[in-house]
Amino acid sequence: TPLLAIETSCDDTACAILDAHGTLLGESVLSQEDHAALGGVVPELAARAHLKALPDLVELTLQRAGLELKDIALFAATTGPGLIGGLIVGSSYAKGLAMACGKPFMGINHIEGHILTPRLPAALRPDETAPAFPYLALLVSGGHCQCIAVEDTGQYRRLGGTIDDSAGEAFDKVAKMLGLGWPGGPALEKLARDGNPRAYELPRPLKGRPSCDFSFSGLKTAVSRHVEPYGRDALPRQVAADLAASFQQAVTDVMTDRILHALDMVPHVTSLVVAGGVAANTVLRQRLQEIASQRGIAFLAPPLQLCTDNAAMIGWAALERLKQGEIPDDISLAPRPRWPLSERQPHQPHTPH
Nearest residue (CB) to ligand ATP, 176 versus 295: 176
Residue 302 binding result from ligand ATP, Fe ion, none, given CB thresholds of 5 to 8 Å by partner type: none
| 83: Cβ contacts below 8 Å, ≥ 6 apart | 9, 10, 41, 43, 46, 47, 337
Residue list 267-306, contact with ligand ATP (CB under 6 A) = 276-278, 280-281
- C-alpha distances (whole Å) from 196 to each of 125, 249, 280 are 33, 10, 20
Q: What's the start-to-end Cα distance of the chain, in Å?
A: 38
The answer to whether 112 contacts ligand ATP (rule: CB under 6 A) is: no
Helix, coil or strand: residue 321: helix
Helix, coil or strand: residue 336: coil
Residue list 2-61, contact with ligand ATP (CB under 6 A) = 9-10
Nearest residue (CB) to ligand ATP, 153 versus 281: 281
Residue 335 binding result from ligand ATP, Fe ion, none, given CB thresholds of 5 to 8 Å by partner type: none
Total residues binding ligand ATP (CB under 6 A): 21
* Strand stretches in the chain, DSSP E: 3-7, 13-18, 24-30, 74-80, 105-109, 135-140, 145-152, 155-161, 271-275, 298-300
Residue 249 binding result from Fe ion, ligand ATP, none, given CB thresholds of 5 to 8 Å by partner type: none
Among residues 189, 221, 211, 152, which one has the least CA distance to residue 304? Answer: 189
Residue list 120-149, contact with ligand ATP (CB under 6 A) = 141-144
Residues pairing with 189 in the sheet:
none
Instruction: Name which position in 165, 189, 242, 257 contacts ligand ATP (CB under 6 A).
Output: 189
CA distance linking residue 130 with residue 268, whole number of Å: 17
Nearest residue (CB) to ligand ATP, 61 versus 109: 109
Query: CB 12 → Fe ion: shortest distance, Å?
Result: 9
| 240: Cβ contacts below 8 Å, ≥ 6 apart | 178, 179, 191, 195
- DSSP label at 287? H
Nearest residue (CB) to ligand ATP, 74 versus 279: 279
The answer to whether the Cα torsion of 121, 125, 128, 132 is positive or negative is negative
Query: CB 144 → Fe ion: shortest distance, Å?
Result: 7
110 appears as a binding residue in the annotation: yes
Query: CB 309 → Fe ion: shortest distance, Å?
Result: 4
Please report, in range form, the residues annotated as the binding site for Fe cation: 110, 114, 309
Residues that bind ligand ATP (CB under 6 A): 9-10, 141-144, 168, 171-172, 183-186, 189, 276-278, 280-281, 308-309
Please report, in range form, the residues annotated as the binding site: 110, 114, 139-143, 172, 185, 189, 281, 309
